[in-house]
């Protein structure tokens, strides 16, 4: 279907390598476009166990499927280039969104050098899936309007000015990737940045994975022990945010967009502006 007939003596133009966000774990959280590419692909290179289920579920029976877990970057690019010479559609499946902690550019550069066309299909990041699992909003009017995606320093050094302590000083929402084994560093940085020991922190393990998701709610003071007790040591998102727990708040500044006194492009105000800020019953 997808393999091209090669006219004798002529090298065909290579197929396209698509970097597709597979989503956070639940195979149904891939985009419609991403799933269509997986279904058409003659070859799929997936990233570890996280996205194997998606690859297997939607791929053609004759699709060449490989796991990049044990490969070096050079082996991965060589595999993708070889498959693109053979198939019109090649997919590199990545967890969440390919543009976050996914070595996207390291893989795109050798393909560019080899003249292989590429495309990127965004995915649902685990940051979004974790907020959804916990029924949390990462932004709230008059609380914080900013979200920082970051990590703490492990083997990958943090660039100047990006220590968690410096970022936490904004007191906005922090979605902390790749750091569950460094929880002590996370809570120390929040404390040093002036977060109260009672400030809420939520950890979501395997967000969206059917039957495997775990949500641990705690505070700066308690979250490390709670995660240890829940035996959570991998594949987890740490969210620290002044918005956490807002579902239970009795007072909430509501979004102006839906306020009856607010006129915008699609709706005229129906009540006077004094009621802009309201308390929930």
Residue ranges binding ligand SAH (CB under 6 A)? 24-25, 94-97, 100-102, 125-126, 129-130, 177-178, 204, 206-209, 235-237
Q: How far is CA 254 from the centre of its chain?
A: 27
In whole angstroms, how close is the CB of 133 to ligand SAH at the nearest point? 8
Measured CA distances, 107 to 5, 75, 85, 92, 251 (Å)? 27, 10, 17, 10, 48
CB 48 to ligand SAH: min, Å: 10
Which residue has its beta carbon closest to ligand SAH? Answer: 96
Q: Which is nearer to ligand SAH, 96 or 200 (CB)?
A: 96
Strands, sheet with 89-94, edge to edge from the N-terminal-most edge strand: 64-67, 43-46, 89-94, 16-21, 118-121
Q: State which residue, 45 or 143, has the beta carbon closest to ligand SAH.
A: 45
Which position has the token pair 């090649």?
90
> Closest separation between CB of residue 52 and ligand SAH, Å?
13
Minimum distance, C-beta of residue 202 to ligand SAH, in the bound complex (Å): 11
Nearer to ligand SAH, 40 or 206 (CB): 206
Which residue, 143 or 189, has its beta carbon nearer to ligand SAH?
A: 189
To ligand SAH, the closest distance from the beta carbon of 233 in angstroms equals: 11
Cβ proximity to ligand SAH: between 77 and 179 the closer is: 179
- Cβ atoms of 181 and 247 within 8 Å: the answer is no
Q: How are beta strands 147-151 and 118-121 bridged, if at all? A: unpaired
CB of 207 to ligand SAH, least distance (A): 3
**Contact at 8 Å (CB) between 276 and 262?**
yes
Q: Which is nearer to ligand SAH, 143 or 239 (CB)?
A: 239
Q: How far is the CB of 120 from ligand SAH (least distance, A)?
A: 12
Q: Determine what percent of the chain falls in helix, strand and coil, rounding each to the nearest 5.
A: 30, 20, 50
Q: What are phi and psi of 246, to 5 degrees?
A: -60, -20
Q: Residue 215 corresponds to which tokens in the numbers above?
A: 């949500």
**Nearest to residue 135, comparing CAs of 239, 238, 244?**
244
Return the sign of the alpha-carbon dihedral for residues 102, 106, 110, 116: positive
Least distance in Å: CB of 153 to ligand SAH?
A: 14
Ordered alpha helix ranges (H), the chain:
32-40, 52-58, 73-84, 104-113, 126-133, 164-168, 183-192, 223-229
How many secondary structure helices (H) and strands (E) does the chain include?
8, 10
Please say which residue, 73 or 257, places its beta carbon nearer to ligand SAH: 73
Q: Which is nearer to ligand SAH, 78 or 178 (CB)?
A: 178
């Amino acid at each position: 279907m997808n393999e091209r007939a090669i006219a004798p003596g002529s090298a065909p133009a290579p197929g396209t390598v698509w970097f597709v966000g597979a989503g956070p774990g639940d195979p149904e959280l891939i985009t419609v476009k991403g799933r269509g590419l997986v279904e058409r692909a003659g070859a799929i290179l997936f990233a570890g166990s996280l996205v194997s289920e998606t690859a297997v579920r939607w791929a053609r029976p004759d699709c060449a499927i490989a796991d990049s877990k044990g490969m070096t970057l050079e082996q991965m690019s060589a595999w993708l280039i070889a498959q693109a010479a053979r198939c019109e559609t090649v997919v590199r499946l990545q967890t969440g969104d390919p543009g976050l902690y996914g070595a996207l550019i390291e893989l795109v550069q050798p393909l560019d050098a080899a003249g292989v066309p590429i495309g990127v299909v965004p995915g649902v990041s685990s940051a979004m899936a974790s907020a959804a699992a916990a029924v949390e909003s990462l932004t709230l009017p008059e609380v914080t309007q900013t979200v920082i995606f970051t990590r703490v320093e492990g083997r990958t050094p943090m660039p100047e000015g990006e220590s968690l302590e410096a970022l936490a000083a904004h007191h906005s929402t922090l979605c902390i990737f790749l750091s569950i084994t460094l929880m002590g560093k996370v809570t120390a940085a929040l404390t040093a940045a002036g977060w109260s020991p009672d400030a809420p922190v939520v950890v979501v393990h395997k967000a969206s994975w059917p039957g495997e998701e775990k949500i641990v709610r705690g505070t700066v003071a308690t979250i490390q022990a709670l995660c240890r007790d829940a035996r959570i040591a991998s594949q987890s998102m740490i969210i620290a945010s002044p918005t956490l727990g807002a579902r239970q708040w009795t007072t909430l500044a509501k979004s102006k967009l839906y306020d009856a006194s607010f006129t915008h492009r699609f709706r005229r105000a129906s009540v006077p502006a004094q009621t802009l800020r309201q308390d929930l019953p």
